[in-house]
């Protein structure tokens, strides 16, 4: 691997989104943060405190999710709405679709934005030039066999609400489209014949799984590790930072909606060597895949409910 690391200042600025799990009406339930590793500084640029959300179950409609960029604009997904901001986080427009529910990660490729619709076991495609949802793909696994159904996101005859797979990540590149989730059992790709094929196995409870070089990188959320496993079986495990119990806020609440310490979610590949990962309470850590070392870590909330969701390299000049 290339990219020798000289200092923390070599790490580019990052953007992170968060979900405050178990928050109540009147409280913040997430935000957007810019992280400057060189200055070891975090700046919250948006506090997500709208009251127009569903307050039932876990994180659900709370907080902000995946992040992507196109044509000088910032695209951020909430549970059922896609928001567009300028680099100073002035909202420009937003989009809804009846088949977008409990969105997690999003991915831009070749003028299209791909969004996970976790509540429908689907992937939606949004044309960034036309500024419209243009197609959807519903996935199902029946008796061990994968099935795919393409649908029109503007029709009323698409899939019914369902969350059997909990699709939480989508990736698209010249190699094709793939997705993964808590209960997909692995990374699943869409073939040229519109058939789904499982590429690699994953444990239940994985987040942000993506193929990288000769291996797979993912948050093993159930085990509190970031894991990188190569095809020949070599593996590196990166434990998430943890804190003294007395330093945690809201840790004593007996509520399944509250994220636990070390809950890993959010992943950003910086280069061939460095990867940033998120964990609870809101912490972003940069790991070196070559040495297995922690290069940088920053915490910006000790509220155990505050969980990182989306992570990406910030492509704009600071203060733009």
Which tokens is 179 given? 């997705």
Structure confidence by residue, pLDDT tens digits, 60-93? 446 899 999 999 999 999 999 999 999 999 999 9
Which tokens is 19 given? 């979900």
Mean pLDDT score of the chain: 88
Structure confidence by residue, pLDDT tens digits, 28-65? 568 999 999 988 899 999 998 754 444 344 444 468 99
Assess whether pLDDT exceeds 70 at residue 227.
yes
- Over residues 187-193, the mean pLDDT reads 89
Long-range contacts of 6-11, Cβ-Cβ distance < 8 Å, separation of 24 or more: 8/37, 8/38, 8/40, 8/295, 8/296, 9/37, 9/38, 11/37, 11/38, 11/270, 11/274, 11/286, 11/295, 11/296
Tally of CB atoms within 10 A around 277: 26
161: three-class secondary structure by DSSP: coil
Cβ pair 38, 9 in contact under 8 A: yes
Strongest mean pLDDT among 54-58, 204-208, 261-265, 266-270 = 266-270
What distance in Å separates the CA atoms of residue 190 and residue 167, rounded to the nearest whole number? 14
- Over residues 112-120, the mean pLDDT reads 97
Percentage of the chain with pLDDT > 70? 87
- Over residues 257-278, the mean pLDDT reads 88
pLDDT at 58: 42
Phi, psi values for residue 221, rounded to 5°? -65, -35
Read off the pTM: 0.91
Which distant-in-sequence residues (6+ apart) come within 8 Å of 130 by Cβ?
none
Domains of the chain, CATH where assigned: 13-313 (2.120.10.80)
Assess whether pLDDT exceeds 90 at residue 288.
yes
User: Which single residue is written with the structure tokens 């992170």?
Assistant: 16
Cβ pair 309, 30 in contact under 8 A: yes
pLDDT at 214: 85
Assess whether pLDDT exceeds 70 at residue 113.
yes
pLDDT at 274: 94
pLDDT at 233: 83
Pairing of strands 225-230, 14-20: unpaired
In 3D space, the residue among 277, 261, 148 whose CA is nearest the CA of residue 210 turns out to be 277
pLDDT at 259: 66
pLDDT at 61: 46
User: Which single residue is written with the structure tokens 């060597």?
Assistant: 273
Cβ pair 261, 281 in contact under 8 A: yes
Phi, psi values for residue 10, rounded to 5°? -75, -15
Tally of CB atoms within 10 A around 25: 9
In 3D space, the residue among 71, 72, 97, 69 whose CA is nearest the CA of residue 82 turns out to be 97
């Amino acid at each position: 691997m290339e990219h020798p690391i000289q200092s923390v200042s070599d790490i580019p600025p990052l953007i992170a989104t968060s979900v405050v799990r178990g928050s109540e009406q009147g409280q913040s339930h997430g935000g957007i943060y810019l992280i400057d590793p060189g200055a070891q500084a975090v700046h919250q640029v948006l506090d997500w405190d709208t009251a127009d959300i569903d307050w039932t179950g876990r994180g659900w409609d709370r907080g902000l999710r995946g992040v992507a960029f196109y044509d000088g604009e910032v695209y951020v997904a909430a549970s059922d709405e896609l928001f567009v901001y300028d680099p100073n986080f002035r909202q420009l427009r937003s989009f809804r679709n009846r088949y977008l529910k409990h969105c997690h990660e999003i991915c831009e490729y070749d003028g299209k934005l791909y969004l996970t619709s976790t509540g429908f076991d689907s992937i939606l495609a949004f044309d960034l030039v036309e500024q419209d949802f243009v197609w959807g793909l519903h996935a199902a696994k029946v008796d061990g066999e994968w099935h795919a159904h393409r649908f029109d996101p503007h029709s009323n005859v698409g899939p019914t609400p369902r969350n059997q797979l909990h699709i939480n990540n989508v990736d698209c590149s010249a190699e094709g489209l793939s997705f993964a989730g808590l209960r997909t059992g692995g990374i699943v790709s869409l073939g040229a014949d519109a058939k789904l094929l499982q590429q690699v196995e994953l444990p239940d409870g994985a987040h942000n799984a993506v193929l990288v070089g000769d291996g797979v990188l993912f948050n093993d959320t159930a085990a509190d590790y970031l894991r990188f496993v190569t095809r020949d079986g070599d593996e590196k495990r990166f434990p998430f930072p943890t804190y003294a119990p007395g330093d945690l806020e809201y840790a004593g609440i007996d509520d399944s909606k509250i994220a636990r310490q070390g809950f890993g979610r959010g992943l950003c590949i910086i280069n061939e060597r460095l990867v940033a990962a998120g964990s609870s309470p809101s912490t972003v850590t940069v790991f070196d895949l070559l040495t297995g070392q922690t290069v940088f870590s920053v915490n910006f909330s000790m509220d155990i409910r505050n969980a990182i969701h989306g992570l990406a390299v910030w492509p704009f000049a600071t203060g733009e």
